[in-house]
């Protein structure tokens, strides 16, 4: 009887933990939807304290760390800490499940920030890793619009490298990864087809079309963006940048 009681107690305790975690995750998702990333991050960490091997929560923590860090331009030390945490969460998620699309996506995102901080060969390696993880994310989930967005931005940035930057890539790796502005546009259009409400994508598409001298398409995307509802804390700032770009295109 004692053994049976102990087994029942343990099973019930696990059930309660699962219920608690589920409720906390739901609250974190609501905070995120309400455009309160810092509160969502706190709540996801609470869930992680109960289930440290929850890959979904690890990915959410990583993504939120990257987003929050992007707003901390006036506090470099704090920003660096968030970016480091983003990579740590991503690494843990990949260790637990390397075949999980979002785990690869958040690593691609974290490596993007890593590339900004690095220089020389380390920077170029980080740039290559962005594409590696974005490709893996799409391999495991071809409908992951965030991974398509990262890949589109990667093509855009590679296409925009100057002569000296291209020469540096060739020195370290022998050849430049193939990339064109059309590659970038194709990826970003794919994002739009999967999630037409993703505000940042329209600004990126407008910049890509502008580089291609297709200003009418750039304007069209900006006007569409300005009529979308805000869904993240960054959307209003993104729209303001879009308004400025729209004036330059007129």
Long-range (24+ apart) CB contacts under 8 A made by 132-135 are: 132/108, 133/104, 133/105, 133/107, 133/108, 134/104, 134/105, 134/108
pTM of the model: 0.88
DSSP 230: P
Token pair recorded at residue 24: 């906390």
* C-alpha distance from residue 48 to each of 51, 154, 165, 202 (Å): 5, 31, 41, 33
- Return the pLDDT at 125: 73
Contacts of 72 (CB under 8 A, 6+ apart): 78, 79, 82
- Return the pLDDT at 126: 74
Domains of the chain listed by start with CATH number: 41-174 (1.25.40.10), 196-250 (no CATH)
- In order along its 250 residues, the chain shows pLDDT tens digits of 445 444 443 443 444 455 588 999 999 999 999 999 999 999 999 999 999 999 999 999 999 999 999 999 888 899 999 999 999 999 999 999 999 999 999 999 998 876 666 556 666 777 888 999 999 999 999 999 999 999 999 999 888 877 777 777 666 656 666 789 999 999 999 999 999 999 999 999 999 999 999 999 999 999 999 999 999 999 999 999 999 999 998 7
- Return the pLDDT at 4: 44
Cα(48)–Cα(66) distance, integer angstroms: 18
- Return the pLDDT at 19: 55
Q: How many helices (H) and strands (E) does the chain have?
A: 12, 0
Token pair recorded at residue 136: 């893996």
Which of left, alpha, beta for 235 (phi over 0: left; psi -120 to 50: alpha)?
alpha
């Amino acid at each position: 009887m004692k053994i049976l009681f102990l087994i029942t107690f343990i099973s019930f305790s696990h059930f309660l933990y699962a219920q608690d975690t589920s409720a906390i995750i739901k609250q974190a998702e609501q905070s995120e939807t309400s455009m309160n990333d810092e509160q969502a991050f706190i709540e996801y960490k609470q869930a992680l304290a109960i289930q440290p091997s929850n890959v979904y929560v690890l990915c959410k923590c990583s993504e939120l760390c990257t987003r929050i860090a992007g707003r901390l331009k006036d506090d470099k030390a704090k920003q660096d800490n968030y970016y480091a945490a983003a990579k740590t969460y991503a690494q843990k998620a990949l260790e637990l499940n390397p075949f999980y699309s979002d785990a690869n996506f958040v690593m691609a995102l974290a490596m993007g920030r890593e590339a900004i901080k690095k220089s020389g060969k380390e920077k170029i390696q980080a740039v290559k890793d962005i594409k590696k993880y974005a490709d893996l994310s799409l391999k495991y989930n071809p409908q992951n619009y965030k991974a398509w967005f990262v890949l589109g931005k990667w093509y855009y940035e590679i296409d925009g490298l100057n002569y000296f930057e291209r020469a540096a890539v060739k020195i370290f790796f022998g050849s430049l990864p193939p990339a064109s502005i059309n590659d970038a546009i194709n990826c970003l259009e794919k994002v739009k087809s999967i999630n037409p409400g993703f505000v940042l994508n329209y600004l990126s598409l407008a910049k890509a079309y502008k580089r291609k001298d297709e200003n009418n398409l750039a304007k069209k995307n900006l006007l569409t963006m300005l009529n979308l509802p805000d869904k993240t804390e960054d959307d209003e700032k993104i729209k303001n940048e879009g308004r400025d770009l729209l004036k330059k295109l007129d």
